[in-house]
Amino acid sequence: MNVGVRVDRKLDHATIVLSGSFDLAHSSEVVHAVQSAEAHLHDCHSAEVSLAQVNRIDGSGAVLLARLIDRLAASGCRTDILGGENPEASRLLTLYRQHRTDHPSPPRRAMNPLARLGAIAAQIPAKANDAFDFTGRCAAALPKAAMAPMSVDWGSLPRLMQEIGADAWPVTSAANLLVGIIVGFLGVSQLGRFGAVAFVPELVVVAHFRARPTDHGYGCGWTLGCGSRIGDSHDEGFGGD
């Protein structure tokens, strides 16, 4: 076994002797060894952790050991780390004990709709301030960029254009495809009642490119945005002579 956690118990005092490699590669062995050792530490008032025989330790092993020491401290057991012969392991263990992130979060009370509305309203001034601040910074930067072009990081412009343009192409294509499918299904179901299914492709195209409303102002042209041809078709096939 590459990991050892031995407990030498004398009345209410215990010495925890660690040996082996406490790293990510042996994390499962560390977990089992810590659990086995913890079973012998009940009702212990003080304990010493010896790191002299630790060959290697990394963040994963330090976290598991730090949690063991924290559980002992929570149960009333005072724990001392004997790291004189292995100062590196002692520093790492102390560091992870100081920066542990498993603190229990305080319970949050459910907010009623009026309280949520008030919280949203309280955030509006800060958001507006951020928007005005960004606008002011941009307005102040434009004259500076015009007077001193070298102060602008022009080298990042191609990368930004790629992120905004080429890299966004799959997302915008998928969004346009979904819009086209939805508009197509709606067009077939609605225009099919008037025998105007042939205009569904135009409806899909207009939905993407936002053509101008019909000159006649008929409801079909205004409501569906079908362009002037559907509006004109009222005279041709929807009751015209």
Are β-strands 46-57 and 78-82 bridged in parallel, bridged antiparallel, or unpaired?
Answer: parallel
pLDDT at 142 over 80: yes
Beta bridge partners of 82: 50
CB–CB of 50/17 below 8 Å?
Answer: yes
Q: What is the pLDDT at residue 132? A: 92
Q: What is the pLDDT at residue 104? A: 52
CB–CB of 97/69 below 8 Å?
Answer: yes
Strands (E), 70-166: 78-82
The H or E element spanning position 71 is helix 59-74
Asked if the 3-98 domain carries CATH number 3.30.750.24, the reply is yes
- pLDDT tier at 89 (50, 70, 90 boundaries)? confident
Are β-strands 13-22 and 46-57 bridged in parallel, bridged antiparallel, or unpaired?
Answer: parallel
The C-alpha atoms of residue 204 and residue 69 are separated, in whole angstroms, by 65
pLDDT at 46 over 60: yes
pTM equals: 0.38
Highest mean pLDDT among 25-29, 59-63, 192-196: 192-196
pLDDT at 15 over 50: yes
Q: What is the pLDDT at residue 203? A: 85
- How many other β-carbons are positioned within 10 Å of the β-carbon of residue 234? 18
CB–CB of 3/20 below 8 Å?
Answer: yes
